[in-house]
Amino acid sequence: MTRAEAALRCQELNHERSERDPPWIAREVSPGDWRPVRPRIPGLPPREPLKATTEAKPKPPQADDPRTSVFRNVPPYGAG
């Protein structure tokens, strides 16, 4: 396979792949022989599949302000 053929095949494969999959690239396997390959980085853990749903728990109600009304109603920088 020539480099141009391998590049064309990589474009076709990249068009079909999902966003999570690594891209296809052209690599010279032997002099003059090009193949579409997916690069792999040794030592990286495999990706886990996406979960279908995410559970959203309701937030607890806001707690009442424990300060007395004298301190609650004072402006932030004192009385003006």
Give 54-66 pLDDT, tens digit per residue. Answer: 778 888 898 888 8
Q: What is the mean pLDDT of residues 15-33?
A: 87
The CA-CA-CA angle for residues 12, 39, 36, to 5°, reads 35
Question: What is d(CA 24, CA 43) in angstroms, rounded to the nearest whole number?
Answer: 20
Q: Where are the domains of the chain?
A: 1-40
Distance CA 20, CA 9 (A): 19
Beta strands in the chain (DSSP E): 25-30, 33-37
Q: pLDDT grade, residue 5 (50/70/90)?
A: very high
Which pTM does this prediction carry?
0.49
Q: For residue 30, what is the DSSP state?
A: E
